[in-house]
Each structure stands twice: as C-alpha cells, then as structure tokens.
Chains A and B, each alone.
Chain A
Amino acid sequence: MQEKGIKNKTYHLRSSMAFNVIGAIVLLMILFGLISCLIGAVSFTNSLKKEYSTTTYHMADTAALLVNGDHLDDYLAGKENAEYEITKGRLDVFCETIHVSLVYVIQVDQSDYGRFVSIFNSVDNTVDDSSYTPWELGHKRDTTNDEYRRKYKELYEQKAEYETVYRIKTTDGQHPHITTMVPVKNSAGDVVAILCMQRPIRELRNARKPYMIVIAVSTVLLAVIGSLLAGAFLRKQFVNPVQRISNEATRFSQENTKGEELGNLSRIKEISNLAKSIDTMENDMTSYVENLTSVTAEKERIGTELGLARSIQENSLQSVFPAFPDRTDFDIYALMDPAREVGGDFYHFRLIDDDHLALIIGDVSGKGIPAALVMMVTNILTSDRMRMGKTPAETLTFVNKDICERNRASMFVTEWVGVLELSTGKLIASNAGHEYPVLQRADGTFELIKDKHGLVIGGLEDTVYTEYELQMTPGTKLFVYTDGVPEATDAEDKMFGTDRMLDALNAHPEASPEQVLKNMQQAVNDFVKDAEQFDDLTMLCVEYKGK
C-alpha cells in the first residue's frame, strides 16, 4: 500500500512539473507561429498587391496612349467612326495580348461621379474564365460604389497618377482581381476619361497558400523540436534532481534513517542548495534523534534508579503503624514527605530496652540525591549509636566527629535526639542545630521548648554536645519536626511559621499521634495551597501514656 502511494505521488509530480512547463512552451511556440504566419501573410499580400498594381498601372498607362483624348465626345456623337474602330481594334488586341480580363474607357459625370458612359470596352473572357458582355459605345451605368466614385474623383482632379481597386475576397462569384484606373487626357492635359484595366489576381492566392503552409509546418516542427529539447533539458536539470530530492525526503519522513547523500546533484544553485539542505537536515535529524534516544534512555535509567532509591529510603524509615501494638504505655507516629523523589529528612525510633524509647529526627541541608546519601549515613550512624545505649549528647558528639571526617562536601545535618524513660516520663534530649521541639503541658497546651542548641552536625569536628532533661506527664505528647513545617511557603512567599504550627496543634489537644500529624499535614497544605512543595516535610509525635 505504502509503496504504491509513493509511486503515485512521484508520477504525479513528474507529469505535472514537466507537463506544465513543456505545455507552456508548446503554447508559446504555436502562438509565436500564428503571429509570424499572420505577419508573413499580410506583408506577403501587401508586397504582391503593390507589385501587381504597379505592373498593371504601366500596362494601363500604355493602353491609355492608344486612346485619342481629343475625340471622345466625337465618338459619343457618332463622328470619327473610322478612328474609333481603329482604336477599339487596337484595344481589343492589347487586351488579348497582355492577358487581362477587361480594358474599358469611361467618361464619368463630373458633377458627383455617380454615373458614367462607356466609350471603349474590350473583353477577354478566356483569361479568367469569365463571362462579361462588352458594353456598347454610349452605354450608361451608375458607379458601382463609393470606392470607385472616390477614386474617379481623385483621378479627374489629378491628385493621383493611378488608382487600384482590389477584389481579393469576392462575394459575387467573380474570381479575385484588381482593377487599375489611369486617366485619359486630351492634348490640353485635362482628364477627359478613365481607362480601367481588370486583371485577375489568381497568382496571389496560388502563391500565398504554399507560403502559409511552409510557415505553419515549420512552426509546428519548431514547437515539437523545441518542446522535446526543453523537456529533455528540464527533465535533466530540474525534474530529475527535484524528483530525487522529493523521493529522498519522502523516504526519510517514513523511515527516519540516514540515506545516501544527495550531494551535488545539480548545477543549478537553488536545487543544489536544496539537496545540500536535505542532506544537512537528515544528518542533523538523525543525530538529534540518536541523541534524544540516548538521553531518553539515560533519563529512564535514572528515573528507575531514583524509584529504587526512593523505595530503599522509604524502607529505611519505619512506616508500619502501630509500630508497637502490644505497648499501652506510649503511642508513636511519624511520616516523611520528600519534596523530590528522595529527601534529606529522616526520623527513627526504637526501644533500646523495655523502658527506654530512642527518638531521632534530622534534616540534611540541601535536597535530592546528595542529601539522601548523607541522610542514610547519618540516620544509620545515629540509630546504631543509640542502640548501643549511648546518651543523646554522646551520640551526637560521636556522629558529628564521624560525619566531619567524611564530609568533604561539607553538608550540614540538623538533628534532635531524645531518650524517653517510659517508667517515669523523663526525657533526655540533645539538639544539634535542629528546630525547637514542642511539648504538651499537663493542661493540654502545646508549647515550644527553647532548648539549648549545639552547632549543626558536620560543622566543626570537635564540637561537644550537651543534653537537657524534660518531664512528660501521662497523657501528653511530644512533637518534633523538620523545617519543612514552619518554612512551608505559600504563593505569596509567606511562611507557615511556628505560631500557626502551635495553633494547629492546640486546635486538637486530644488527638492521637497519628491524628496530630495528619492534622498538621492538612494545615500545611491548606496554607500552601497551590504553591510547589519546596522542602521535605517530616514529623514525629509520641504520646506518653504512663502505666
């Protein structure tokens, strides 16, 4: 199907381009031929007519010499009969000798040239296969038409040496002929009559026909040869190169693979440039597609790896709740919501022994993969140290030293670490540059504990952290979080802040740890609305219930 489609299109292109141009050339040639035919015919006719009438004029002028202009009126009056007969005989002989149809002498009425009287009239019907009857002496006639009348007048007034009337396209069945008129003068030099000589002009038509045929045939031949040459030239110079370019472009659009280079396939600059552009385009497109493919593959690979990294990170944080279903003396809930696939926030909790619950929350500066790597290391270092039974301050001091030693990229980690003694509610904690913890007082009010802060982890290697003690009464909760909560920002760049955070907590003092975190998440979302989540959001809440 596809193949056929290309072929059809190709054929269409070839026929239309060549056909249009060659057709135009043929039309032009024919038009040119017609015009030259016409011009040729007209000039041929004109020169022939001129030649004809000049010759006829000389013949007529010779004939006029035979007529004695002084005795015309005498002839009409019936006098000088002998001279009339001699002259008539001479004119008859003349008419026969020089092969003209008619030679006649008429006297025209000079008042309006509308009538004339015939004096001499010689006829030779053999010349042009005609059937004229000679007019008698004194035969009166009206002038044939205005053209004759005008020309008679010209001659009588001596404004012309001779006049000619052409009858080339005759309507009355006569053959084409010319009538040349010359004046007949008396001895005083006045025009007294007109001698007319009618001569067939068959030759004009006979000569013109072959001339026209030659012109027509040569025009057609020229058109055919010209079209063939133009066609061949066009095909070689335009159609074939354009065809190849078109085929290559079609092939490329369907296959999208680099084909044979078109190269320098035409001497015509525009076509050559087009071919080069197609070559360049193909090269660029294929390398672009290759590039895009490899970039896309790379992106997919990174995406897959990020997905894996995300699930590894999620699995490193406890996410099964309730975490301690058989414990009634406390309840705990935590969540981490990274701004990107992976985050730099972390939390951890574990029972060191039956009576001591370790709590860890931390935040690595920056976001994404670098933060996630540091987060994993710090979380593991810290939780391992806690499991070994070290105090929060000892743990942070150790972790800081360890991180500083490996921390070439000098990333910071803020970390809050606490140990809750479940039998007494005593909380020992240490803070390395982390957000203030929130503790619920016995009356149910949540308040910010402005605890003693040590420098962030990863700052100075020999920092020694100190710890402090808080007392939790049964039924109260401890809420720790990362800066994603107070620094959550809305579309107008306003921050959520610790005041709104405390308000959200105090709105539901009786809520379970899980509910506390869900409420806080909701409050932050309501505040931020459509703005993009900028930072990881991590919270941990523990409720101390006591025995």
Chain B
Amino acid sequence: MTINKELDGTTLTVAVAGRLDTNTAPELEEELMNSLSDVKVLVLDFEGLEYISSAGLRILLSAHKIMSKQDGMKVRNVNQAIQDILDITGFTDILTIE
C-alpha cells in the first residue's frame, strides 16, 4: 500500500493505492489521525486502490465521523470492485462518493 498526501489550503487530499487490509490499515490510520486537526475537507482518492477490508472500512468510518464535524469528507475515483464492497456494506449510504 502507498499513501500520498497533498494539502491545498484546508483541503487534504490523500491518495491510497494497493491493498487496504488488516496489515496496512494501521499505517493509513496513523497518517490520517496525525494530519486531520487543521483540515476542513478531506478527499480520499481511491484510484489505485485494489482492495479494502473491514479494517479499512473502519478507518473510513472514523474519518467520516471526524470530518462530519468539519466540512465533510469525499471519496473519489472509486473503481468497481471497491464500489461493490462499499455498496454491500452500506457505506455508499453515508459516504459522499464522486
């Protein structure tokens, strides 16, 4: 898994690529939790994301909870496999997917 962060004013864009599973999730969690304090909008770019497990979904949910107190969180460039997972687990209902 690779993580690329880009801060533009108060908008933080995080591009996640590879497999987001039990082994790699803690890394993303640490990256996000350390950089969300001054961020108003969080954009998650899933263009290179191949797989997301429940551990990954848990991070999405945590980030969603934090950002809902700010100006929100967006998920972008979701491929079909990830979309299926988000659909099945009901995350499509709560996330803003562009």
Contact = CB atoms under 8 A, between A and B. Distances in A.
The answer to whether A and B interact is: yes
Given A410-B61, A459-B61, A459-B94, A453 B87 contact: yes
B94 A460 contact: yes
A455 B94 CA distance: 8
B89 A455 contact: yes
A366 B89 contact: no
A118 interface: no
Nearest to A434: B88
Given A412-B54, A460-B94, A433 B61 contact: no
A496 to B, nearest CB: 15
B54 A366 contact: yes
Query: Interface centre among B88, B90, B92, B94, by most A CB within 10 Å?
Result: B90
A436 interface: yes
B13 to A, nearest CB: 24
A365 B54 contact: yes
B46 interface: no
A456 B87 CA distance: 11
Contacts of A454: 90, 93
A355 B87 CA distance: 33
B91 A455 contact: yes
Interface in A489-519: none
Given A365-B55, A366-B54, A456 B62 contact: no
B57 interface: yes
A393 to B, nearest CB: 13
Contacts of A383: none
A434 B85 CA distance: 10
A105 interface: no
B20 to A, nearest CB: 13
Contacts of A434: 88
A412 B88 contact: no
Interface string B45-67: 00000000111011001100100
A479 to B, nearest CB: 16
A414 interface: yes
Interface residues on B, range: 10 to 19
A455 B91 CA distance: 6
Contacts of A412: 54, 57-58, 89
Query: Interface centre among A365, A412, A459, by most B CB within 10 Å?
Result: A459
Contacts of B87: 453
Nearest to A365: B54
Interface in A424-441: 431-436
Contacts of B22: 366
A436 B91 CA distance: 15
Nearest to B89: A433
Contact of A432 (B53, B58, B61, B90): B90
A410 B59 CA distance: 10
Contact of A453 (B58, B62, B90): B90
A46 to B, nearest CB: 95
Contacts of B89: 412, 414, 433, 453, 455-456
Contacts of A365: 53-55, 57-58
Nearest to B68: A460
Contact of A460 (B53, B57, B61): B61
Given A436-B88, A456-B89, 18 more contacts: A365-B54, A366-B22, A410-B58, A410-B62, A412-B57, A433-B91, A435-B88, A453-B87, A453-B88, A453-B90, A453-B92, A453-B93, A455-B91, A456-B54, A456-B57, A460-B61, A460-B65, A460-B94
28 contacts: A365-B53, A365-B54, A365-B57, A365-B58, A366-B22, A366-B55, A410-B58, A412-B54, A412-B57, A412-B58, A412-B89, A414-B88, A414-B89, A431-B90, A433-B88, A453-B89, A453-B90, A455-B90, A455-B91, A456-B57, A456-B89, A456-B90, A459-B61, A459-B90, A459-B91, A460-B61, A460-B65, A463-B94
Interface of B: 22, 53-55, 57-58, 61-62, 65, 87-94
Sorted from nearest, which 5 A-B pairs have the closest CB atoms? A365-B54, A455-B90, A433-B89, A433-B90, A453-B90
